């Protein structure tokens, strides 16, 4: 009988948690017993896994000695409190929050880019999952960085509301129906501006340097994953009225010139990437038609910059709940159990 692993999912009733359950089942991860964990608000609920209805248990009371793996997507404050307890009990934690990403002794991993760093989990018993917008960025840029080097990244993101959680999905649904019915949309008291039929150029709180925390995440995480503090990253992150799938407009300045055909060839052979780029109608990817509910990072609109001799432009889309969160965590877990546990 093949070895199985008992797993706890913290935040099992959230958007990422539900996607984790789906992907573990779809990829036939060797799960022994699965424990769905959440806050008191979710007690009494069940989640479905491999045809069974599993009762949600209270995260704060869970005994992590029952599991070998913990997959956390319950928010940074929860991870700060509970993850050390899980590790002390003997579980290895893959954390999908920002809590541990910038700690030097915690590997920040995107398997297509730096799978070898997973071995460093032994230092703290924790592996950090990057921000969703960072993941698709570095998957697309890693082959180019390895081939010709990258000096500077200018990136504008157009991020789906699912990146803000289940409530944001529900809010956009209600507001869209209201507007299409000729009614005034119900105002979200937690939102500075409504996203329905709008583009909001601010995600997370504004920092003293004028950038948002979301934008600074992209800078710090990209440099850590690509292992180059010299790469200059200049992001602008916007929320758009799309349910699933982040889009990114990327402009690169490379150390050595790379032509558009050369970049296309590199990306075509890179893991986790699907290139959709050409002159025929519709030969470019979008969040809705290609990325949503799929695993790949899609790249198109590959073209050389007319204003810079070593400039290259890309358009990148990916499902933020799958590759941008849950799938990346499961890929890390697969390598972890196959090579290190």
SS3 labels along the chain? CCCCEEEEEECCCCHHHHHHHHHHHHCCCCEEEEEEEECHHHCCCEEEECCEEEECEEHHHCCHHHCCEEEECCCHHHHHHHHHHHHHCCCEEEECCCCCCCCCCCCECCHHHHHHHHHHHHHCCEEECCCHHHHHHHHHHHHHHHHHCEEEEEEEEEECHHHHCHHHHHHHHHHHHHHHCCCCCCCCCCCCCCCCCCCECCCCCECCCCCEHHHHHHHHHHHHHCCCCCCEEEEEEEECCCCCCEEEEEEEEECCCCCHHHHHHHHHCCCCEEECCCCCCCCCCCHHHHHCCCCCEEEEEEEECCCCCCEEEEEEEECCCHHHHHHHHHHHHHHHHHHCC
Q: For residue range 265-297, what is the model confidence (pLDDT) as tens digits?
A: 999 999 999 999 999 999 999 999 999 999 999
One domain for residues 83 and 118? yes
One domain for residues 49 and 142? no
pTM: 0.96
One domain for residues 54 and 186? no
- Rounded CA-CA distance 99/83 in Å is 10
pLDDT for position 195 = 93
pLDDT for position 184 = 81
Domain count, the chain: 2
One domain for residues 181 and 64? no
pLDDT for position 323 = 98
pLDDT for position 186 = 72
One domain for residues 81 and 223? no
One domain for residues 123 and 152? no
* Ranges of the chain whose pLDDT falls below 50: 1
**What residues are annotated to the active site?**
132, 246
One domain for residues 152 and 273? yes
pLDDT for position 12 = 97
Domain that holds residue 168: 133-320
The alpha carbon of residue 327 and the mean position of all alpha carbons in its chain are separated, in whole angstroms, by 8
One domain for residues 114 and 222? no
One domain for residues 55 and 80? yes
One domain for residues 147 and 212? yes
pLDDT for position 183 = 87
pLDDT for position 292 = 96
* 245 backbone φψ class: left, alpha, beta (φ>0; ψ -120 to 50): left
Q: Which two tokens mark 106? A: 């915690």
Q: What is the CATH number of the domain that holds 50?
A: 3.40.50.720
pLDDT for position 1 = 43
HSE toward the beta carbon, residue 152, CA cutoff 13 A: 7
pLDDT for position 185 = 76
Q: Are 323 and 312 in contact (CB under 8 A)?
A: no
One domain for residues 79 and 228? no
Q: What is the CATH number of the domain that holds 294?
A: 3.30.360.10
Q: For residue range 12-33, what is the model confidence (pLDDT) as tens digits?
A: 999 999 999 999 999 999 999 9
pLDDT for position 117 = 98
Q: Are 325 and 132 in contact (CB under 8 A)?
A: yes
One domain for residues 170 and 82? no
């Amino acid at each position: 009988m093949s070895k199985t692993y008992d797993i706890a999912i913290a935040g099992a009733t959230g958007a990422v948690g539900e996607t984790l359950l789906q992907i573990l089942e779809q990829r036939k991860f060797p799960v022994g017993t699965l424990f769905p964990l959440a806050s008191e608000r979710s007690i009494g609920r069940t989640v479905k896994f491999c045809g069974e209805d599993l009762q949600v248990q209270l995260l704060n009371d869970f005994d992590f000695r029952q599991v070998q793996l913990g997959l956390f997507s319950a928010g940074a404050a929860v991870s700060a409190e509970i993850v050390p307890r899980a590790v002390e009990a003997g579980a290895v934690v893959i954390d999908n929050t920002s809590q541990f990403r910038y700690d030097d002794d915690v590997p920040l991993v995107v398997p297509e880019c730096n799978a070898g760093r997973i071995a460093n989990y032994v230092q703290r018993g924790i592996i950090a999952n990057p921000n969703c917008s960072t993941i698709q960025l570095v998957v697309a840029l890693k082959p180019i960085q390895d081939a010709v080097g990258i000096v500077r990244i200018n990136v504008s993101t157009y991020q789906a509301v699912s990146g803000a959680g289940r409530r944001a999905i529900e809010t956009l649904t209600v507001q869209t129906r209201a507007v299409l019915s000729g009614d005034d949309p119900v105002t979200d008291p937690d939102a500075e501006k409504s996203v329905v039929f709008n583009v909001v150029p601010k995600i997370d709180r504004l920092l003293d340097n004028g950038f948002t925390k979301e934008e600074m995440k992209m800078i710090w995480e990209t440099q850590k994953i690509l292992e180059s503090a010299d790469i200059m990253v200049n992001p602008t992150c916007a929320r758009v009225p799309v349910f699933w799938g982040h889009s990114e407009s990327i402009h690169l300045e490379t150390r050595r010139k790379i032509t558009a055909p050369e970049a296309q060839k590199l990306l075509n052979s890179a893991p986790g990437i699907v290139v959709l780029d050409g002159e025929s109608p519709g030969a470019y990817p979008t969040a809705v038609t290609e990325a949503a509910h799929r695993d790949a990072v899609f790249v198109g609109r590959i073209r050389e910059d007319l204003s810079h001799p070593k400039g290259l432009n890309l358009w990148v889309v990916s499902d933020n709940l799958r590759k941008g969160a849950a799938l990346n965590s499961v890929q890390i877990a697969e390598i972890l159990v196959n090579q290190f546990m």
